[in-house]
Structure 1
Amino acid sequence: MSDIAIELEDLTVAYERHPAVHHVSGTIAAGSLTAIAGPNGAGKSSLLKAIIGELRPSSGTIRHRLKRTDFGYLPQAADINRRFPISVLDTVLLGSWRQAGAFLNIASADRGRAHDALGVVGLEGFERRSIASLSAGQFQRVLFARLLLQDASVILLDEPFTAIDGRTTRDLLEIVADWHGEGRTVLAVLHDFEQVRAHFPRTLLLAREVIGWGATADVMSPANLRKAWVTAERWDESAGICEPAR
């Protein structure tokens, strides 16, 4: 994993001049499995959106040699409109839209792959179901099936296991482990520190600025976790700066 997939240099991402992430520097190795952890409001989702190109950096640089089609992105469930009248199968097939084109000229091979992906996530027989009829865990399985069909080399997951049942979490963590075993680069925003310690060998601990970045056992130390929460609490939302410790 010596090759660098993505490099961040002095990266700041801001909303209305208020930094969401502040002067972040570091590298993401190709084929690495990294958790992005930290307090609420630490800028974790903003960092993912900057990497994927949904947010423009206020300053600093994101370097990589990847095409847009090399990225697979799973946003937070709250950002997805499930009221749109679309079937499970058609939702999964959206994973091939870059290859199929805007009008989704889906080949039979893609449909076969979509059925296979639904089998992998445990949703055989759900093809014609409306996504609005699914539980939170079932819908998350559908989104993972869409990522399987997309077949991206870099996968970004924003809170992929929030508000879903334990069995679904375990099944989807196995898929994440498979991606890592295949040499894909995976970054996941997570709140469950036990999941981070058990399943992710590397961690970026973020509190708008980098608290620690490296091997999970080293980064997720009690001292670093205390520092992350103190840093988050001292961040002045109105000024967008971190007050010095008193």
Structure 2
Amino acid sequence: MNAPAPAPIRLVNLTLGYDRRPAVHHLEGEIAPGAGLAVCGPNGAGKSTLLKALAGLLAPLGGSIERGGASPRNVAYLPQIVDIDSAFPINLRDFVAMGAMTRIGLFGGLDAAERARVAEAIETVGLSGFEERALDTLSGGQMQRALFARLIVQDQSVILLDEPFGAIDEATIDDLLALISRWRAEGRTVVAVLHDFDIARRAFPQTLLLARERIAWGDTRDALCKANLARARAMSAAFDESARECLRDEETRHVH
């Protein structure tokens, strides 16, 4: 695979939300090229919202995401499996081949090189022999493997994963973590929303602990210490869902 070289992703005073109601406040930080970053935090902490913004699917309420000239088109995004319609009438091979659309277009045909790429991706995730199977006949673990195969075909420098290990077997988790390790060895940036702190500690050197705002961002074992986790729970519990978009103290001094 020959993905474009990744650039740093900088979050500058980033505020995200819906209907002008903030879900993530004034986030600052940098995701280095080739980073393996886990995004952890309580339910409702803004983790999936942040991933959607990184994928270019959600515009900031305030601040910015600086990509060093790169486009969100250079991002491969895997939403939560509950957001994917596995009943869509398509077989596994064609589903995986959808990862090539950014190169061939919506109605482009697969040439020999793209067909070989699809076959290799299916083999890599351990689904050889399942090419003609309909999506709705796959188990949870098989479906997740198929989604990772589609990411392989996308061949992007930044890979965003939203809860990629929920409700799947340990063997599948091990195989997918090995694939993530390979991606990072190739210099790709991987950002994953995780509820499982053990997986974060095992496979992601860096963690952003989020509770509507940054609690900690750095070495995973330090970020997920007991004190930080307690603070994250307290911050999340105290958050006012009805709050409007806010301004930083230094910004309010210029508002009359």
The answer on 1:234 being equivalent to 2:234 is no
**RMSD (Å) for aligned C-alpha atoms:** 1.4
State the 1:69 CA deviation: 3.1
Aligned to 2:46: 43
Query: What are the Cα deviations for residues 133-184 of structure 1, in whole angstroms up to 9, with x where unaligned?
Result: 1011100000000001111000000000011111111110100011111110
**Matching residue within 67, 72, 75 for 2:76:** 72
Task: Tell me which residue corresponds to 1:185.
Answer: 189
State the AA in 2 paired with 1:53: G
CA distance in 2 between counterparts of 1:14 and 1:232 reads 15
C-alpha displacement of 1:241: 8.4
| CA distance in 2 between partners of 1:198 and 1:166 (Å) | 14
CA contact (8 A) 1:8 1:27 kept: yes
Kept in 1, the 8 Å contact 2:33–2:188? The answer is yes
**Whole-angstrom CA distance in 2 between matches of 1:152 and 1:69:** 9
Q: Provide the C-alpha distance between the structure 2 equivalents of 1:124 and 1:51, rounded to a whole number of angstroms.
A: 32
Task: Report if the CA contact (8 A) 1:155-1:187 is conserved.
Answer: yes
1:6 and 1:28 in contact (8 A); partners too: yes
Q: Report what 2:21 is aligned to.
A: 18
Please tell me the residue identity of whatever aligns with 1:114: V
For the 8 Å contact 2:36–2:189, the answer to whether it is kept is yes
Count of residues in correspondence between the two structures: 240
Q: Which residue of 1 aligns with 2:122?
A: 118
| Mapped contact 1:4–1:27 kept (Cα < 8 A) | no
Partner of 2:207: 203
User: 5+ residue gaps in structure 2?
Assistant: 1-5, 247-256
Identity among equivalent positions (%) equals 51
Q: Separation in 1 of the partners of 2:70 and 2:129?
A: 35
Tell me the CA shift for residue 5 of structure 1.
1.5
**TM superposition shift of 1:68:** 3.2
Partner Cα distance (1:189, 1:57) in 2: 19
Following superposition, the deviation at residue 82 of structure 1 comes to 1.1
The CA distance in 1 between the partners of 2:33 and 2:76, in whole Å, is 15
Deviation per residue, 1:102-134 (Å, 9 max, x gap)? 203111211111111111100000111001110
**What letter corresponds to residue 149 of structure 1 in structure 2?**
V
Q: Which residue of 2 aligns with 1:60?
A: 63
3-state secondary structure, aligned to 1:236:
coil
**Distance in 2 between residues matched to 1:179 and 1:191, nearest whole Å:** 21
Instruction: Indicate conservation of the 8 Å contact 1:11/1:61, yes or no.
Output: yes
Q: Any runs of at least 4 consecutive aligned residues in structure 1 with deviations exceeding 4 A, and if so which?
A: none
Match of 1:145 in 2: 149
**Gapped regions of structure 1 (runs ≥ 5):** none
Distance 2:109 2:245 in 1: 50
Cα distance in 2 for partners of 1:14, 1:149 equals 31
Partner residue of 1:212 out of 213, 216, 220: 216
Q: How many Å separate the matches in 1 of 2:59 and 2:73?
A: 18
Q: Distance in 2 between matches of 1:110 and 1:97?
A: 10
* TM-score calculated relative to the size of structure 2: 0.91
